Structure 1
């Protein structure tokens, strides 16, 4: 049986840039420790590798005594401390803390141990509270945090980073993170998928990707790793593109849906993505997620990805056929091609909707629906006059009532807590008003797009397929078909 010393520091910085860990190890050796186990982890975590190894040795009966410099080096969690003590007593293993008077063989020693553990846990809780109060203070001041790629933090505000970042030898010029960030966005607009946009940027700047090789015994992790001066995975690029900072807003607690908040237009002069571009990016990402990308061969036609079966609700795949294939091949002329949609589940014989439908029939129904909707909107616009002052929504009215009551109470008896509540309600009102205004702008933009494209249906039919794809994605939710006929055209507006 051995005497084992256990040392722990909370962070890699403490281990490498201070003498805290070295000092612990020296004291443990001087106290008679025959073997040292070391962790660089928080004491509140229960998944520490060396700590778990230590307890495993205790349970095997191979440890006579554990030596630590202080009790909080062993753990900062009171429940973990109690279960550890139970295991030590059960396997007749003593615990010695050099800076604390602890003897597990006496009742006073056990009591003293529990008291020290409770104090250590309280200190951790107090530290957590201080950290939370500090973060809240920064959020109340609207201080910029964690600037994303392309941005820097100056005077507590997000600003585009135009400082030199890369030197392009071939072009003999320097390029900044902000310029590269804009190139990434443009690459998405041109290539239409995250992976193709990444491929273009990686090839442009010589960033190599390689398969992730796992060491023996480690849990396998899929995916690829990018190696270079900057790197994005498809998921990371998606999160970056959707970051409100790029749109001129300041987000807090994005990963916490219950506590997340956004302060709008905090840096409008340093907006990397405009509102129109933001809507287009969200449309591309949503469409790719639903239909597996613009690059799919099933999505090369204007209405691809928008056609659904009325019977089984599955999407319909595109297919083609030639009326004069053999004759055209014999004469060396292009064949007369026809294009159709068919329910994908019929191919698996899990749907009875076998009949195909011509693409021209689907697009004619789409254009007819959008042309009628454009006429309705134009007629309404001519007859309806917009009120000078629009009424506020019920949610804003309720918040304003609460705000008025708090302001009255604060006027009589000023209080910091009430002032904080007033500031939070004012922030909520601002966010709601901004969201409603943006929603109205989106509707207005969709109406303008509809009126521009379908004021003349005959002229629209001569538009390019790329223009048709973009407009149909923006205005059409679904085209439902059955037995070779269009059953319904659902519009988003």
Structure 2
């Protein structure tokens, strides 16, 4: 049977490349002594603490095919520097059906019990050495943090390291471009537009919109020094270690100025501008708050959820050259996946539902106006009188009940005051949508339609059909139905010869 050689180095540096050549030379000589002049080679350039090395995975897959009789390494730490992962490999190579493992420098042969005992000890020592190396690295990083020195082998785009690498300074070629880019984003905060500008004007390609977003959100652009962009996690079962990146703009430590109150490097942004950029991306992370944009954000984006999986339903064109939009759930494994709804019919149904509750909304706005004049709604007035009676009793046992009623009154007043003027303005616009003209009005002014729906109503769909419509809690009044069940009415479905649905208000059919 054939011999397999496994070699590994941590990096691709010149020193490590020479070490790799030495490993291969010794392994090939050992393979020749096992009567295999042409062994199969497996070479990884990765840390020994990782268990997802591609060539190691290929070696194990080849061994399982039964064509390999012996696997040779120079040392056991070439296979693994993790005790948990190393123990798994030792158990695997100790089985009768698997190849024998030989470690040259460790004088280990797993075909013997003493060899297996020594292997387990050496794997533990290798992990301890890896941990000590990690400790030395962390101590060095902690010292650099106290000195407020930058980390990393590559500086942030637009900057370069000073000669002694303890500061950042503007790159004479890239910094002017970075200034223009920041100004353009503040004027038009869209990463797609900025990426196109980078490529057309300067021939610079960013890896993705997300990488450009990380650059824009980096506090270093304000002259600050930021540390701790990643979180290190260790799986307690497998011992596998991995780094998890924090969201853009989120760091464990941010130092905005040095001891003299001066920025650490020339800034591209003020802190106010940086906060504005963070706010823009935070708002866009919620679909319901995204501004209207043809092909990207439609009037119903983020307002319709799937009743089966709870995820947002996405827009799409049903075919090339189609003149209308549809909506569907794209969650893998969801029973409603790829079940299509007509966007126009959903929009008509939501606006018609809103029109039906116009009277209750009018009463709500009247209460807002009364509140502005110093008056309370009947419900709030009754609750206030109850509170006054309880306070007059002066009973300590009633204090928990009294506190709850005071909290309820405060919420009632705050909720009423928060959206009074806004609700009144929106309601005036809703009232102008006479029922037969809802569809036409929503098509002529999609931005206004989105503002109204986002403020007042949400909906759920299942299997390509609208099932519920819910009035927003902030405008819900006593006696007003919160949710309307429209399951079975065929709203949102594409009409077919088998199932005929009535035309929605405002349709031109």
- TM normalised by structure 2 equals 0.51
For the 8 Å contact 2:159–2:168, the answer to whether it is kept is yes
2:95 is aligned with 1:95? no
User: 2:200 aligns to what SS in structure 1?
Assistant: helix
Q: How far apart, CA to CA, are the structure 2 residues paired with 1:79 and 1:247?
A: 44
User: Structure 1 30/232 Cα, relative in aligned 2: closer, same or farther at 3 Å?
Assistant: closer
2:164 is aligned with 1:182? no
User: Structure 1 279/96 Cα, relative in aligned 2: closer, same or farther at 3 Å?
Assistant: closer
Q: How far apart, CA to CA, are the structure 1 residues paired with 2:296 and 2:58?
A: 55
> What is the Cα-based RMSD across aligned positions, in Å?
4.6
Q: How far apart, CA to CA, are the structure 2 residues paired with 1:143 and 1:70?
A: 37
2:280 is aligned with 1:272? no
Q: Deviations over 1:97-153 (max 9, x none)?
A: 221221323332222222211111111111111111111121122212243112233
Q: How far apart, CA to CA, are the structure 1 residues paired with 2:78 and 2:44?
A: 10
Partner of 1:79: 84
Instruction: State which of 47, 53, 72 in structure 2 corresponds to 1:42.
Output: 47
Partner of 1:245: 220
Q: Deviations over 1:179-222 (max 9, x none)?
A: 11111111112333111122223221244xxxxxxxxxxxxxxx
User: Structure 1 23/348 Cα, relative in aligned 2: closer, same or farther at 3 Å?
Assistant: farther
Q: How far apart, CA to CA, are the structure 1 residues paired with 2:295 and 2:44?
A: 53
2:136 is aligned with 1:135? no
Q: How far apart, CA to CA, are the structure 1 residues paired with 2:251 and 2:174?
A: 31
Q: How far apart, CA to CA, are the structure 1 residues paired with 2:125 and 2:116?
A: 14
User: Structure 1 161/106 Cα, relative in aligned 2: closer, same or farther at 3 Å?
Assistant: same
Matches within 5 A, 1:205-284: 205-207=202-204, 226=205, 231=206, 233-256=208-231, 260-266=252-258, 267-268=262-263, 270-284=266-280
User: 1:117 aligns to what SS in structure 2?
Assistant: helix
Partner of 2:121: 115
For the 8 Å contact 1:193–1:284, the answer to whether it is kept is no
Q: How far apart, CA to CA, are the structure 2 residues paired with 1:295 and 1:308?
A: 13
Q: How far apart, CA to CA, are the structure 2 residues paired with 1:190 and 1:92?
A: 64
Matches within 5 A, 1:320-469: 347=347, 349=349, 353-355=353-355
- TM normalised by structure 1 equals 0.53
Partner of 1:8: 8
Q: Structure 2, unaligned stretches of length 5 or more?
A: 232-245, 305-311, 313-342, 358-364, 373-450, 458-473, 476-509
Partner of 1:161: 170
User: Structure 1 131/92 Cα, relative in aligned 2: closer, same or farther at 3 Å?
Assistant: same
Instruction: State which of 150, 154, 157 in structure 2 corresponds to 1:149.
Output: 157
Aligned length: 311
User: Structure 1 89/287 Cα, relative in aligned 2: closer, same or farther at 3 Å?
Assistant: closer
Q: Structure 1, unaligned stretches of length 5 or more?
A: 164-175, 208-225, 310-314, 316-342, 358-364, 373-475, 489-493
Q: How far apart, CA to CA, are the structure 1 residues paired with 2:198 and 2:161?
A: 25
